[in-house]
């Protein structure tokens, strides 16, 4: 074997070794990518299972915006609760309830029982922004079951009302009163059923 052949054979061996090394790197990178992807999917699934839920509306207390058997996606990802949020509450009544936040901690709520108007910090609430009529908020049950008005929402609590004020059992009544924020399962942000109402909630 002459010297040229020896060099050629060494070059081929080096090329083969380099090719094998590249393949190993590709396979190793592929394994790492699959591992990272699997971990990412697992984390997303875990987060979604806690942060996002699908709930079914029960009853008519949120008409006309939410009907019985409507399906909503709620999230607990953002814990900040704001006036106007639609929330699902647990451990308030025998089953979860869905209501709208009217006031948060430190705000004072009053109700004009003759005109059916809600006041928050002395200003009349404009219910029309939620697609419902103004002047429909009355106290339907016996006085002994009413929350005493005016009332100031304690720290860490919220005052909630149903959109269908005539039938809603909500913070107007002592059975519910001001609700501890820790009882908020999540905030509604997207409607998925019925199909003609698919979209972000209001």
Query: Looking at residue 124, what is its pLDDT?
Result: 96
Residues 107 and 24 reside in one and the same domain: no
Residues 4 and 25 reside in one and the same domain: yes
CA angle 141, 56, 117 (to 5 degrees): 35
Residues 77 and 148 reside in one and the same domain: yes
Interval 26-58: pLDDT, tens: 776 777 777 777 776 666 555 555 677 888 999
Q: Which residue has the tokens 């999917």?
A: 41
Residues 170 and 101 reside in one and the same domain: yes
Residues 143 and 49 reside in one and the same domain: no
Look at the pTM and tell me if it is higher than 0.85. no
Question: 189 by DSSP, 3-state: which?
Answer: strand
On the question of pLDDT at 123 being above 80, the answer is yes
Domain that includes residue 142, residue range? 57-200
Residues 43 and 100 reside in one and the same domain: no
Query: What is the DSSP code string of 47-66?
Result: HHHHHEEEEE--SSTTTTTS
Interval 141-192: pLDDT, tens: 776 688 999 999 999 999 999 999 999 999 999 989 999 999 999 999 889 8
Residues 115 and 194 reside in one and the same domain: yes
Whether the Cβ atoms of residue 100 and residue 160 lie closer than 8 Å to each other: yes
Number of domains in the chain: 2
Query: Looking at residue 7, what is its pLDDT?
Result: 44
117-127 burial code (b ≥16 CB/10 A, e <16): bbbbeeeebeb
């Amino acid at each position: 074997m002459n010297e040229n052949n020896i060099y050629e054979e060494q070059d081929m061996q080096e090329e083969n070794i380099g090719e094998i090394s590249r393949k190993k790197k590709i396979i190793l990178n592929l394994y790492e990518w699959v591992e990272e992807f699997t971990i990412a999917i697992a984390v997303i699934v875990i987060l979604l299972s806690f942060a996002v839920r699908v709930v079914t509306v029960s009853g008519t207390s949120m008409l006309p915006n939410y009907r019985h058997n409507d399906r909503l996606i709620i999230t607990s990802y953002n814990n900040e609760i704001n006036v106007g949020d639609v929330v699902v509450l647990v451990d308030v009544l025998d089953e979860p309830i869905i209501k709208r936040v009217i006031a948060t901690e430190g705000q004072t709520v009053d109700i004009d029982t003759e005109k059916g108007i809600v006041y928050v910090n002395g200003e009349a609430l404009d219910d029309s922004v939620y697609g419902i009529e103004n002047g429909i908020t009355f106290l339907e049950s016996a006085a002994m079951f009413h929350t005493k008005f005016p009332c100031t929402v304690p720290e860490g609590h919220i005052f909630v009302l149903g959109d269908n004020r005539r039938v809603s059992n909500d913070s107007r009544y002592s059975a519910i009163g001001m609700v501890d924020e820790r009882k908020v399962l999540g905030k509604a942000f997207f409607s998925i059923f019925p199909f003609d109402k698919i979209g972000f909630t209001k």
